[in-house]
A and B are shown apart, each in its own frame.
Chain A
Amino acid sequence: MSSADIYREVILDYYRHPRNFGKLEKFDIDSHDSNPLCGDEIEMQVQVGSGQKMEEVKFTGKGCAISQASVSMLTELAKGKPLGWVKELSKEDVFKMLGNPDLGPSRVKCALLGMKVLKTGVYGYLGAQYEEKDEGELP
C-alpha cells in the first residue's frame, strides 16, 4: 500500500472542499450510518424526481479523508441517475472512482461507508432490504 496513491491531490481536494455538502430542504430519502471503529459519520439526503431519478443528492458528515472524499464523489456520480443505478453500484465502482488505491482491510470500510448509506437509503425507499454483501470483510 502506498499512501501517496491514496492521498492524491483529488482526494484531498474533495476532503477539504466537499461537493454537495449540506442538507436538502425537500428530500424523499434520508439515510445515516457511522463506522464505530473510526467514528466516521455520514448522512445523505436524496430528492427523487420523475422517472425515479435522483435529482438532488447531498450529504453531511465527518471523518477521515477517505470516507469524506468517497461520499462526496459518490454524490456527484449519483446525481441525475435513476434509483436503479444505485442497485447496480458495486464496491469495485467505488474503488475505481477513488483511483483504485491499495487500501488495507480496515480502511476499505471508510471508503465504502458512503455507498452503504446511499444503498441503505435507496433500498429502504424501494421497500427492499440492503444486505451488506457488497462490502469488504469486517476489519
Chain B
Amino acid sequence: MLKAEAFEVAKVREDFPILKRKVHGKRLVYLDNAATTQKPQLVVDALVDFYTRYNSNVHRSVHTLGEEATAAYEAARSKTAKFVGADPKGLVFVRGTTEATNLVRFAWGEKNVKKGDVLVATLMEHHSNIVPWQLLARSKGATLKYVGLNPDGTLDMGQLEDLLREAPRLVAVAHCSNVLGTINEVSAICAMAKKVGATTVVDGAQSVPHMPVDIGAVGADFYAFSGHKMLAPTGVGALAARKELLEEMDPFQSGGEMIKEVFEDHSTWNDVPYKFEAGTVNIADAIGLGTAVDYLSSIGMERVRKHEVALLDYALRALSEVKGVKIYGPPDPARRGGVVSFNYADVHPHDLATILDEEGVAIRSGHHCAQLLMRWLDVPATARASFHVYNSYDDVDALTAGLHKAGKLFRL
C-alpha cells in the first residue's frame, strides 16, 4: 500500500533525542503515546532556559526576572487557549486532566449537585472522568448513570437520549476514547445536554494532542486536557470553561494567589482564572506547554491528524492480517483517534508487552484506567499501540514483526 506522509517524519524524529535510544540493543519504537508522549528538544530547552535565565515566581515580584517569568507564563496561557479555541480568561492551568475533573467536582459539583440528581457518564470513560462523579454522587445522594456502547464501540446515542429525559445535572464524556479510539460526537452531545439544562464535561486528553480541536465549537461547559500527552512536560494541563461559569463557582484549593483580599473572618477571590490557581503554580512546565503548542502548530494539527489516520489505516490492515488478532473499536480510521487496542489469541497483553519490549517496541498493556470498558469488552486487559507525530510506517512494521515473534514463542 501507498506509504504517503503528511510531513517529513524523518525530520520530525530528529527533534526528539530520546528516539535515538536503544532498548535491549534495538531501536526504540515508542508506541505508548496515549499514556504520555516524548518531548522535543525545544520543549526541554524551554525548561532549561527558564531555570537558567529567568527563574522567578509569577504575579507577585516586580523585579525583572519576575516580570519576565509572568510574561512567559501568561503567554503560554494565551497560546494554549488559542490552540484549542478557548478564552484565555477561562483557561485554568492544572496538573492534568485528572486535576481538572476534580476541580469541577469540588468547585462546581459541591454547589450545584443536589440529592436525587442524576449524573451521566459513559462506559468508555477513563477513571478520571468516572471516579470524581462517583464520589460527588455519593457525597450528595445523587445517582451516576452510564451511557452504553454499540457493538462497534461507538456511543449508544439512543440510550443517551433516554438518560437526557431524566434531566441530569451533568453529562461527562470523552472526546476520544483512550482504548477504542472512538471519536465521540461531542458537539452534538453538548448541544443535546444543554437543551435539558445539563452541564457538560468533555475529557479532551486524547483529542487535543492528536487533532484540531475548537472548544468553542464543541460547546462544552468544561473541557479538560493534559500537557504531557501533547509533547509538553508532565505536571501541567488545562481546564477550559466559560469565564462566567468559572466566576459563579466556588474556589477549588485555597491559599495564596487565589485571593483578592483576606480579612480575619472571610476572604474575597481573585479574578478568574487566577481564582483557581492557588499557591505557586507550575511555571516552568506551563511555559513548556506553550512551547509544545508552538511546535505542534508549526507542523499543523490538520497534518498531525492526517499522519495519524494514515498510520492507523496501515496498522489496522497489518494487524488484521495476523491470525488470532482481535482489534477493538470502530473499523473506520477516519472515525477514531491514533490508538489501536487489540488482543492476540491467548497471549495475555502483559506477556505480549514483555516480548515486544525485548524488540525495542513499547506498547501499553492492561486496563488503561478504563475498567468499565474492559468489562463491557469482556476482557481483563488489552494491548494498545498509540501514535504521535514521530511514528513511522517502520514502527508499525516493528510492531507486526514483534507479534509474529510472540506467536512463535507461544506456539500459535
Contacts and interface: CB of A to CB of B under 8 A. Distances in A.
- Interface of B (DSSP majority class): mixed
B355 A39 contact: no
Contacts of A16: 346
Interface string B340-375: 000000111111001101100000011100000010
Given A37-B366, A39-B366, A62-B380, A3 B355 contact: yes
Given A1-B358, A12-B410, A39-B366, A7 B351 contact: yes
Interface in B316-358: 346-351, 354-355, 357-358
B409 interface: yes
B165 interface: no
Contacts of A44: none
A86 interface: no
Given A37-B366, A38-B381, A6 B354 contact: yes
A46 to B, nearest CB: 25
B380 A39 contact: yes
B24 interface: yes
Given A2-B358, A7-B410, A12-B411, A110 B24 contact: no
5 contacts: A1-B358, A3-B358, A4-B409, A39-B367, A64-B349
Contacts of A7: 351, 355, 409-410
Nearest to B346: A16
A82 interface: no
B128 to A, nearest CB: 16
A63 B348 CA distance: 7
B40 to A, nearest CB: 28
Contact of A65 (B348, B358, B374, B380): B348
Nearest to B365: A38
Interface of A: 1-4, 6-7, 12, 16, 37-41, 62-66, 104, 107, 110
A7 B406 CA distance: 10
Given A7-B355, A16-B346, A38-B381, 9 more contacts: A1-B358, A2-B358, A3-B354, A3-B358, A37-B366, A62-B380, A64-B348, A64-B350, A104-B354
A106 B343 CA distance: 20
A101 B142 CA distance: 51
A107 B24 CA distance: 16
Contact of A66 (B349, B351, B366, B367): B351
Nearest to A11: B351
Contacts of B367: 39
Given A12-B410, A39-B381, A1 B350 contact: no
B148 to A, nearest CB: 22
A65 B349 CA distance: 10
- The 8 lowest CB-CB distance pairs between A and B, nearest first, are A64-B348, A64-B350, A3-B355, A39-B380, A7-B409, A65-B351, A64-B351, A3-B358
Contacts of A110: 350
Contacts of B409: 3-4, 7
Nearest to B24: A1
A110 B411 CA distance: 22
A65 B346 CA distance: 9
A66 B348 CA distance: 10
B377 to A, nearest CB: 13
Nearest to A2: B358
A38 B351 contact: no
Contacts of A107: 350, 354
Nearest to A107: B354
A10 to B, nearest CB: 13
A107 B354 CA distance: 8
A107 B358 CA distance: 13
A7 to B, nearest CB: 5
A66 B365 CA distance: 15
Contacts of B349: 64
Contacts of A2: 358
Nearest to A8: B409
Nearest to B349: A64
B362 to A, nearest CB: 13
B201 to A, nearest CB: 25
Contacts of A38: 350, 365-366, 381
A62 B346 CA distance: 12
A49 to B, nearest CB: 34
B322 to A, nearest CB: 18
Contacts of B348: 63-65
